[in-house]
Structure 1
Amino acid sequence: MTRHESPTGRASRLCAAAVAVVTGLGLVPAAPAAAAQRTPSTADWKPCPAYSDEALEAMAPPRALERFKQLLARLECGTVSVPLDYRRPKGRQITVAVTRLKAQDQARRLGSLALNPGGPGGSGYLMPVELLTMSDAIAGLNERYDLIGFDPRGVGYSTTVDCPPPDGGPGERPVGPITEAAARQLYDLEVAANAACGRSDTAFLGQLTTANVAHDLDRVRAALGERKLSFLGVSWGTWLGVVYRSLHPDRVDRMFLDSVAIPRFSIPAFEDGRAAAAERNALRMAAWIARHHGTYGFGTTADQVRAAIIALRADYDANPRRFTDLDLPVDGSIVALSAAQGAEIWPVAATVLAELRDATGPTAPPTVKEVLGGGPAEPPPSEPPADLPERFNPTMNRAAFCNEDPSRLDFAAAWESYQRRLADNPLTGRSGGFSGGCAGWPLPVQTVQLRPGGGSLVLSGHRYETPSPYEWTLQTRSIVGGRVYTVDDDVHGSAPLEPACAADVVAFFDTGRIDGGCPGAPVPSGPDDRSPRASFRA
């Protein structure tokens, strides 16, 4: 799952990777599974949206554009009606937007395979098309399965509501470590924004929970005429998967969950787990930089590199630099953020660190400027095409997190938690900003109790990744069962994209069998080995 900061959160001009990244939570269902199944469901199929050339070019890279169009031409689109509140199944109804890409081999068809990219708040409406254009290796999923996309309630073409923008704004990003007084001001702004959002439409926002999305998914299953449903989820999609399996255990066929979410959710545990994983992976990066001392000059051992980066971060916090061609100052958070990058971006991140160490100004070094963006003269980004579908809904993200977060920290607890993360993670702790999380959210906490379920379950964990630390995979297995599949990389959600891993995913859905793991994305061989698809991650 991906926790997105509120509009009052820390602003950044860093170029971020488009990662459908993400976690999990822990719940008694909002309504009994029997109530969710009470009313028969049907799908209302209708013509799919038509997209402009500008929207298509924004959705697909040039090399995949024709393939994207071909798949769109095969896509079927519709809606399924579901109760807003499953405790009142005959009350207000809302719609869930669904898509279907029928199996190519109808004679050997195995069933329907639902897809979710993460979030909460991520759109899965076009995921059948997007997934098949990302990797030839994963395209085999569509041979024997109908691929089912859907927008969860609160997202995209499904019934949605958007919270009003908060009063005021975050102001300028703090330069250097945030003070307790500034953190308290930020906390108060977040409390006010959460309270205003949660009270804006309590009837709808209170029903934005993973349990309800799982019940909606079961309505989709029924509308498709399937006795059982297979499922592929990434990031928050893994949380949705285990919740669906807990609430509808007899409706699961085969389920593959990649980058497994935290199984017992609270925002402090979520943030602590990610921070510790980032620090561990930074030590891997330090060892890689040490192997290339001739290029970067930080030392010949991981300990030497670690000490040098910590000293550089402390120096930039004490003496932030201002470059004439950047519109933001550079402080220790940028050093920490560089140290927190995944392996695919290590050559760029190490270059940024070396350039920051050697910078004399007045202009920014070239890679630093490339990563952070230009100055005030840089043209503003163009408006997206009007018909571009919503990719992510921040209101759904906030509501699903906060409805399921039992912590609701007061300022003292939030400040103590943040200070502890800084102390425990000297390399990367400053890459994360202070936040009050769900403080001030006015709606009651709704939790889900995970249970073992039916069908075949594979939990895919990435040994070194930060957004979904590997230990969350093992913790989830201890609660719900299933088989662990280990990807030996640090790339969130890479299993459907890396050829060897994707082949295993396809084979699992075809046969129900899978081995213990795959190599995943390779570590760069040297400073010049830069992945064309990797982006600097904020």
Structure 2
Amino acid sequence: MRKGSAVAVAAVALTSLGVGPAEATGRGPTPQVAWKTCPAYSDEVLLAIGVPDDRLPAVRAQLDRMECGTVSVPLDHREPGGRRIDVAITRLKALDQAHRLGSLAVNPGGPGGSGYLMGVQIGTLTNDEAARLGDRYDLIGFDPRGVGYSTHVDCAPPHREGEPPTGPITKEAAKADYDLEVAFNKSCGDSDPEFLRQLTTENVARDLDLVRAALHERKLSFLGVSWGTWLGAVYRSEFPASAGRVFLDSVAPPHFRIDEFEDGRAMAAERDSTRLVAWLARFDDTYGLGATPERVRATILAMVRDFDANPRHYTDLPRAVDGEIIAVSAAQPSRAWPLVGQVLKALRESTGPTAPPVFKDVVEGPPQTPPPPGAPEPVNRTMNQAAFCNEDPSRLDFEHAWADFRQRLAANPVTGRSLRFSAGCAGWPLPVQEYRLRRGTGSLVLVGHRHESVSVFEWTAEMKAAVGGRTYTVEDDVHGSVLRVPECSADLVEYFTTGRIDGGCQGVPLPDGPDAPGPTGLTAAGLDLTTG
């Protein structure tokens, strides 16, 4: 909700944000932006990265305004005179230069997610309210070190022979997966240890402060989603005098261990499934899964057990279908619930020999084609692995990893089978570099989504206890949805314009019935450390 005119507080905002000459906070040469010609993107590339055909002209207009450059930063900030790497940035200058409030860096998550074109996306692919962010701020997109147009390396992903076995994973199969992941982690970490050991959130935050100085900004405001919330918290903690207004959507936990991270996500997915079964019960005439939440839950549990005991071998699908897909369906956010109901109904009633059409469409999805030449890298998996593993102190051996996984399965009977066993960072050969956040007093908004399972709602309160700030609650289960919902986006823009914000917004509403539009596919919960 908009609370009033932003123009009336422009003078106060300019003073509070400290717009003026900037100084570098570290040792070494004063950073500069090496401005250069931006990459050229064909229509084929823009369509491939998700630009709808009818939005191509608007995106092209933003790309024509975009400025591109690099900032040279130390690979190791403790040795500013040593090896240097490039951080790629973009800038979309504020439309209202007379009332400009400074620069606003944006990050979509990860770690390893590219934010190079995020300013363009905010201006053209969100909603009219969110697009107003670019009225009075220069929007600064960037690829963190290790990603995209910035200096990066790539480890080849681990190769698994054959299809995974059907049914719940056995301890023997889990040990084979564990050994494979340990071998990959060691091979990757040893491939370029000088570079990979420097892929940490703290180093990205230090890079960002050099970007701020290179842009001649005394303060830098920040908008982060998912892992970007951890980056924003670290930046504010490390550079309290440089951080302007900071807005963090779908907040990460203040202390990171992959085992605890996955425990929290698993718990939240199971908890949100109670809302799913209540919604499906409302439409029992359509789905036939049960007229009460208790009956729907019992139906889903029975289907998980039945499909695990008797996997379905459909002649038009390459792999048997077991209880995992039932649990994956039950772990979906609310936008997908109409599709979830269709899939569960179709699988429950299926007699073969071919797969139910709605399920086959979900499994096969749209045709997968390699990205066209010139497409930007959306996420760098090596940066994702290195940043997590450099900061994760768990490094579990197999017996502890297996025990944790079995406990997660037992604690989450409806959605637990959507989880896959993983070694996490076991075998990563580089030293642990934990970062401890410090409490600050600067302007900060922490956004928690009450029902989501990717960034668990409780993490918002934990982060506030660690760093301060104020909380803003979104009453949905959709990860990072503030930029997608006009009501919430208006609050976000009001905050960056005036520093004021209320307590929350409704977010993405529940589907109003079985025919409500939604996504065309299902995504397994908790299978990917990349959350942006």
Tell me the TM-score normalised to structure 2 length: 0.92
1:208 aligns with 2:199: yes
Q: What is the distance in 2 between the residues matched to 1:170 and 1:35?
A: 50
In structure 2, which of residues 144, 153, 156 is the aligned counterpart of residue 161 of structure 1?
153
Contact 1:170 1:186 in 2 (8 A): no
Corresponding residue number in structure 2 for 1:298:
289
Partner of 2:508: 521
Query: Is 1:148 paired with 2:140?
Result: yes
- Residue 125 of structure 2 is aligned to residue 138 of structure 1: no
CA contact (8 A) 2:24 2:31 kept: no
Whether 2:496 is the aligned partner of 1:509: answer yes
**1:454, distance to aligned residue in structure 2 (A):** 4.2
Shift of 1:453: 2.3
Q: How far has the Cα of 1:529 moved from its partner?
A: 1.0
Give the distance between the partners of 2:290 and 2:40, measured in 1 at CA: 56
Alignment of 1:119-268 (within 5 A): 119-134=110-125, 135-166=127-158, 168-268=159-259
Q: Kindly tell me: are residues 145 and 86 of structure 1, through their superposed partners in 2, closer, same or farther at Cα, counting changes over 3 Å?
A: same
* 1:54 maps to 2:40: no
Corresponding letter in the other structure for 2:85: I
Q: What SS is found at the alignment partner of 1:257?
A: strand
Assess if the C-alpha contact under 8 Å between 2:283 and 2:514 holds in 1.
yes
Residue number among 375, 391, 394 corresponding to 2:378 in the alignment: 391
Which of 314, 324, 330 aligns to 2:321? It is 330
Number of the residue aligned with 1:536 = 522
Q: Report the counterpart of residue 17 of structure 2 in structure 1.
A: none
CA contact (8 A) 1:468 1:492 kept: yes
Alpha carbons 1:252, 1:454 under 8 Å: kept: no
SS in 1 for 2:231: helix
1:44–1:79 CA contact under 8 A, matched in 2 = yes
Q: Is the 8 A contact 2:339 2:520 kept in 1?
A: no
1:486 match: 473
Deviation at 1:390, TM superposition (A): 0.5
Residue 396 of structure 2 is aligned with which of 409, 416, 428? 409
Q: Report the 3-state secondary structure (helix = DSSP H, G, I; strand = E; otherwise coil) of the residue aligned with 2:132.
A: helix
Alpha-carbon distance in 1 for matches of 2:368, 2:297: 36
CA distance in 2: counterparts of 1:285 and 1:517, whole angstroms: 23
Give distance in 2, aligned partners of 1:476 and 1:319: 44
State the partner residue of 1:477. 464
Compared with structure 1, are the counterparts of its residues 360 and 37 closer, same or farther at alpha carbon in structure 2 (3 Å cutoff)? farther
Q: Is 2:49 the counterpart of 1:63?
A: no
**Aligned residue for 1:10?**
none
Structure 1: gaps (5+ residues): 1-32
Letter in 1 for 2:351: T
Look up the match of 1:467: 454
Letter of the 2:254 counterpart: P
Secondary structure at 2:373 match in 1: coil
Identity of aligned residues (%): 61
State the match for 2:434 in structure 1. 447
Indicate the SS of the match to 1:315: helix
In the TM superposition, what is the alpha-carbon distance from 1:35 to its structure 2 partner?
7.3
Aligned with 2:91: secondary structure?
Answer: strand
User: Is this contact kept in 1: 2:439–2:468, CA < 8 A?
Assistant: yes
Residue type at the aligned position of 2:145: R
User: What's the counterpart of residue 15 of structure 2?
Assistant: none
Residue 457 of structure 1 corresponds to which residue in structure 2? Answer: 444
- 1:40, distance to aligned residue in structure 2 (A): 1.5
The aligned amino acid for 2:128 is D
What is the rounded CA distance, in whole Å, between the counterparts of 2:428 and 2:485 in structure 1? 40
The answer on whether the counterparts of 1:245 and 1:454 sit within 8 Å (CA) in structure 2 is no
Q: Secondary structure at the match of 2:79?
A: coil
For 1:163, the aligned partner's letter is: C
The alpha-carbon deviation at position 534 of structure 1 amounts to 6.3
Q: Quote the offset at 1:132 in angstroms.
A: 1.4
Partners of 2:400 and 2:476 in 1: how far apart? 34
Assess if the C-alpha contact under 8 Å between 1:164 and 1:200 holds in 2.
Answer: no
Tell me the equivalent position of 2:529. none
Give, as a single letter, the amino acid of the residue that structure 1 aligns with 2:267.
A
Where in structure 2 are there 5+ consecutive unaligned residues?
1-22, 525-532
Q: Which residue of 1 is the match for residue 4 of structure 2?
A: none
| Shift of residue 203, structure 1, vs aligned partner | 0.0
SS of the residue corresponding to residue 361 of structure 1 reads coil
Is the CA contact 1:257–1:458 (under 8 Å) kept in the aligned structure 2? yes
Deviation at 1:52, TM superposition (A): 1.8
SS of 1:249's equivalent in the other structure is coil
Give the match's secondary structure for 2:221: strand
Cα-to-partner distance string for 1:308-343 (whole Å, 9 max, x where unaligned): 101110100111101111112110000000000000
Q: Which residue number in structure 2 is paired with residue 21 of structure 1?
A: none
Partner of 1:281: 272
Cα pair 2:336 2:522 within 8 Å, conserved:
yes
TM-score (norm 1): 0.91
SS of the counterpart of 2:387?
Answer: helix
Shift of 1:530: 2.0
Shifted more, 463-472 versus 321-330: the winner is 321-330
Inter-partner Cα distance in structure 1 for 2:26 and 2:471: 30
CA contact (8 A) 1:47 1:77 kept: yes
Letter in 2 for 1:65: L
> CA–CA distance in 1 between the matches of 2:398 and 2:28?
44
In the TM superposition, 1:98-117 aligns within 5 A as: 98-117=89-108
d(CA) in 1 for partners of 2:191, 2:85: 18
- Given candidates 68, 77, 89, the residue that maps to 2:80 is 89
Q: Is the 8 A contact 2:24 2:30 kept in 1?
A: no
Q: 1:35 to 1:142 in 2, by over 3 A?
A: closer
Distance apart, 1:164 and its partner CA? 3.6
Change (3 A) 1:172 1:97: same
Structure 1 residue 43 and structure 2 residue 29: aligned? no
Are residues 170 and 285 of structure 1, via their aligned partners in 2, closer, same or farther at CA, if it must alter by over 3 Å?
farther
SS of the residue aligned with 1:330? coil
Aligned residues: 500
Cα deviation code 1:326-372 (max 9, x no counterpart): 11211000000000000000000111111111110001111111110
The change in CA–CA distance for 1:255 and 1:427 in structure 2 (over 3 A counts) is same
Give the corresponding residue for 2:421: 434
Distance 1:444 1:34 in 2: 29
The code of the aligned residue for 1:440 comes to: G
The match for 1:12 is: none
